[in-house]
């Protein structure tokens, strides 16, 4: 028999949780691993939304009296209560649309909607910031680095929570042991480019990533969805093992569990239409429904039967109403309410969630992190470099594309002679480099979007500061972008036969590097803002296309209407192209081309050609400064956006 003591409970008797039917074969965590669970209870949780539409005036705030005729309130959750003790697993079940996810998210501080009612941790009103440290949330979808192995994934996660190597390795080994991933320790997570873990193993690894923080309370959103029955069973058994061996309190929503899985929880909360239909041990479900006059047909699974019984969409509405109306006065509800009362948990003012911390501020204000910001940054940099080196989608594919494009440019504009007839050709080659190499930065979007999901998961679980992430991202991007500029720039520079001065070559590489850095920073903003890949591609293509128009190659900039001429000042392509042109032409004189149309009978100083574009007086270092400033500004915007909007709330 396992007993988990909890000294925080404000009751007269020392509070002990007893877990019946312990499994003999449960692997127990290492003796020195932390074992402590949370007593988690909630009372009368209510979530409502306003439905319908108000007039445009009231939406914009011009009218103080909105036309409420079309407005109404919809109760998504209606006075739902429950309690989970340390070492227990709670399943939240119900038909589709019954409010399972909303309840889980409300309990875990993951909803934007206002939540009414009381949520308590260890018998005390929940403090949002302390809560974020003790509670972790495993999302329905696995957001992991596909190029990292199981051990690497867990080790990097543990580095955000442990200050000593001993703590890290203990937690990592412990997580692999308890989640049954020891044999896969060196297997990559896998994705498009690598074969890797199975769906069930990935899901267990997602649990492990949160487990290494030694959470007292673990939320999981539909952890078994998409898994076959064997994988679902293994996962739930792992969760049960975690609860039993560490005392971790586990709350998860679950969709259509098999009979075996159904019986593996300690407490079951059934929801229908946002209301509770049952709360108690799964084994006592039949008794409860029997008392209401319902009996299970032969050869039917209990889980399936109760879900069908409380399904108002496809079942009998009268029956569902009868079950829901009967719940508050049932024996089981009485037991629950007495237990909550025993713990002094009510939904009075002191406990009401809204009064504790304004919901809008939770999620942005950061928790007390387990490790320092410089350390977080160094972990993120190391992990980022490993991913960059291993993941073809992040680096090598793009590298190959840039090299091929550079060769292509070299082939098309091959070894141009320095004659006046080629001035236009040099300019067009430089235009192409400034326009298209920058445009190809769009290819970074898939990697950025994939990483954004990982960032949101980690940030929402209080793993690291947004600033640590932004700094690390910059530090990882800079060397790679420089390498990209150096290799592709060198290839096309010498194949085209541009200015032979070494200084000019260096400045060309420098300008290309800055241009690509700004373009990638801009893509970072787009990745932060857009929800979908296709939207990001369209947005990126539009912006780069617009920038190309005001680059100064197709039409002299002064010929553009005064009301749009200013646009060049925000277009990175303008600064790159101007610098490329100034760098190439300013100190060269082109030999005569008397047979060219129009003929150039005399040598032409490059400066004369620059004047046609209005680039003769360009301050190259000043423009470099502008590009650096743009890269910084875009990174700040991306960071601010991620800090403000990507809190993990739905």
**Residues at the interface with ligand ATP (CB under 6 A):** 49, 76, 94, 96-102, 113, 255
Q: Which is nearer to ligand ATP, 102 or 647 (CB)?
A: 102
Q: Which is nearer to ligand ATP, 239 or 271 (CB)?
A: 271
Q: Which is nearer to ligand ATP, 102 or 521 (CB)?
A: 102
Torsion of CA 82, 88, 93, 98, to 10 degrees: 30
Phi-psi region of 11 (alpha: psi -120 to 50; beta: other; left: phi over 0): beta
Q: Which is nearer to ligand ATP, 151 or 649 (CB)?
A: 649
Q: Which is nearer to ligand ATP, 99 or 257 (CB)?
A: 99
3 state DSSP class of 590: strand
Look at strands 275-280 and 267-272 and give their pairing. antiparallel
CB of 530 to ligand ATP, least distance (A): 20
The count of other CB atoms within 10 Å of the CB of residue 226 is: 15
Cβ atoms 175, 231 nearer than 8 A: no
CB of 313 to ligand ATP, least distance (A): 10
* Length, in residues, of the chain: 650
CB of 98 to ligand ATP, least distance (A): 4
CB of 557 to ligand ATP, least distance (A): 48
Cβ atoms 89, 261 nearer than 8 A: no
DSSP state of 333: H
Q: Which is nearer to ligand ATP, 108 or 466 (CB)?
A: 108
DSSP per-residue letters across 593-605:
BTTSSS-B-S-EE
Round to whole Å and give the CA distance between 84 and 243: 11
CB of 94 to ligand ATP, least distance (A): 5
Cβ atoms 63, 201 nearer than 8 A: no
Cβ atoms 146, 194 nearer than 8 A: yes
CB of 273 to ligand ATP, least distance (A): 9
CB of 103 to ligand ATP, least distance (A): 7
The strand pairing partners of 83, in sequence order, are 41
Round to whole Å and give the CA distance between 554 and 371: 53
Q: Which is nearer to ligand ATP, 76 or 352 (CB)?
A: 76
DSSP state of 420: G
The count of other CB atoms within 10 Å of the CB of residue 449 is: 18
Round to whole Å and give the CA distance between 583 and 576: 10
Q: Where are the alpha helices (DSSP H) in 391-501?
A: 396-412, 423-432, 438-439, 445-460, 466-496
Q: Which is nearer to ligand ATP, 101 or 231 (CB)?
A: 101
CB of 311 to ligand ATP, least distance (A): 11
Q: Which is nearer to ligand ATP, 105 or 347 (CB)?
A: 105
CB of 113 to ligand ATP, least distance (A): 6
């Amino acid at each position: 028999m396992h007993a988990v003591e909890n000294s925080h409970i404000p009751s007269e008797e020392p509070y002990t949780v007893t877990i019946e039917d312990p499994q003999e074969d449960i692997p127990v965590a290492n003796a020195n691993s932390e074992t402590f669970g949370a007593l988690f209870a909630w009372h009368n949780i209510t979530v409502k939304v306003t439905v319908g539409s108000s007039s445009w005036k009231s939406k914009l705030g011009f009218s103080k009296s909105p036309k409420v005729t079309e407005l109404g309130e919809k109760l998504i959750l209606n006075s739902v209560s429950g309690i989970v003790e340390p070492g227990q697993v709670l399943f939240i079940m119900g038909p589709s649309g019954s409010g399972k996810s909303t309840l889980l998210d409300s309990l875990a501080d993951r909803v934007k909607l206002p939540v009414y009612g009381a949520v308590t941790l260890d018998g005390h009103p929940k403090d949002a910031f302390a809560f974020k440290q003790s509670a972790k949330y495993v999302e329905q979808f696995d957001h992991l680095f596909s190029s990292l192995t199981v051990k690497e994934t867990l080790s990097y996660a543990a580095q955000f929570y442990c200050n000593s190597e001993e703590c890290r390795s203990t937690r990592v080994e412990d997580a692999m042991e308890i989640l049954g991933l020891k044999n896969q320790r060196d297997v990559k997570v896998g994705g498009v480019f690598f074969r890797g873990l199975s769906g069930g193993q990935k899901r267990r690894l997602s649990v492990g990533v949160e487990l290494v923080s030694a959470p007292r309370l673990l939320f999981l959103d539909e952890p078994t969805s998409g898994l076959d029955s064997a994988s679902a069973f293994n996962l739930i058994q792992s969760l049960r093992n975690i609860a039993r061996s560490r005392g971790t309190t586990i709350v998860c929503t679950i969709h259509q569990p098999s009979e075996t899985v159904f019986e593996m929880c300690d407490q079951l909360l059934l929801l229908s239409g946002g209301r509770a239909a049952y709360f108690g041990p799964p084994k006592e479900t039949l008794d409860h429904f029997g008392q209401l006059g319902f009996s299970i047909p032969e050869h039917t699974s209990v889980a399936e039967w109760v879900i069908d019984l409380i399904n108002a969409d496809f079942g009998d509405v009268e029956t569902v109403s009868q079950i829901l109306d009967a719940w508050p006065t049932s024996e089981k509800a009485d037991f629950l309410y007495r237990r909550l009362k025993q713990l002094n948990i009510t939904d009075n003012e002191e406990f009401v969630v809204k009064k504790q911390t304004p919901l809008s501020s939770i999620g942005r204000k950061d928790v007390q992190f387990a490790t320092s910001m410089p350390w977080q940054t160094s972990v993120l940099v190391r992990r980022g470099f490993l991913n960059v080196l291993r993941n073809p989608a992040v680096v090598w594919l793009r590298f190959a594309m840039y090299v091929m494009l550079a060769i292509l440019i070299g082939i098309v504009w091959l070894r141009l002679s320095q004659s006046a007839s080629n001035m236009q050709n040099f300019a067009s080659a430089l235009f192409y480099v400034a326009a298209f190499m920058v445009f190809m930065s769009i290819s970074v979007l898939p990697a950025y979007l994939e990483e954004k999901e990982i960032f949101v998961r980690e940030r929402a679980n209080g793993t690291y500061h947004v600033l640590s992430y932004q700094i690390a991202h910059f530090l990882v991007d800079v060397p790679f972008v420089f390498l990209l500029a150096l290799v592709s720039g060198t290839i096309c520079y010498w194949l085209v036969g541009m200015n032979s001065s070494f200084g000019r070559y260096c400045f060309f590489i420098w300008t290309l590097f800055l241009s690509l850095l700004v373009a990638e920073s801009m893509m970072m903003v787009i990745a932060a803002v857009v929800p979908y890949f296709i939207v990001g591609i369209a947005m990126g293509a539009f912006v780069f296309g617009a920038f190309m128009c005001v680059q100064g190659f197709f039409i002299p900039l002064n010929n553009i209407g005064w009301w749009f001429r200013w646009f060049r000042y925000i277009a990175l392509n303008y600064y790159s192209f101007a610098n490329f042109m100034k760098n190439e032409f300013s100190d060269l004189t082109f030999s005569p081309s008397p047979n060219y149309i129009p003929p150039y009978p005399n040598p032409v100083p490059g400066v004369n050609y620059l004047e046609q574009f209005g680039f003769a007086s360009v301050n190259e270092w000043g423009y470099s400064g502008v590009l650096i400033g743009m890269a910084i500004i875009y990174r700040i915007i991306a960071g601010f956006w991620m800090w403000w909007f990507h809190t993990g709330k739905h």
